[in-house]
Amino acid sequence: MEKLFQFINKLESKESNKVFKALHIASILHKDQKRKFSKDPYIVHPINVAVNVIENKLDINLYIKELEKYMANIVIVALLHDTIEDYPDTDYATKLIIL
């Protein structure tokens, strides 16, 4: 989680607000869910996916120079990827956050 907040703190205000909104929405939608085997709160999974995206960004940047301007949106998608499956109506909300 610390790496996620470090990433957010480096963003411009508009982008950091979008990532915080996505984290908030994911937290609300997954609040009653638990991981199947570990029984950890489900929100741990999308946060870990987002952190993996952030950590692997440097390797990808070697190949895609323009990636940096899309990183906030990529992290948003990582945070909300399961909400779209579990709650199809959130697809629209995701698009609103990214735009």
Task: State pLDDT tens for residues 24-35.
Answer: 989 998 999 999
2 in a structural domain? no
Instruction: Supply the DSSP symbol for 46.
Output: H
89 in a structural domain? yes
Which stretches of the chain drop beneath a pLDDT of 70? 58-66, 88-99
Instruction: Supply the DSSP symbol for 1.
Output: -
Domain span holding position 60: 19-30+39-98
Express each pLDDT in 6-19 by its tens digit: 999 989 999 999 99
14 in a structural domain? no
Output the pTM of the full model: 0.80
49 in a structural domain? yes
Looking at the structure of the chain, the number of domains it has is: 1
User: Exposure pattern of 28-60 as b/e (b: 16+ CB <10 Å)?
Assistant: ebbeeeeeeeeeeebbebbbebbbebbeebeee
50 in a structural domain? yes
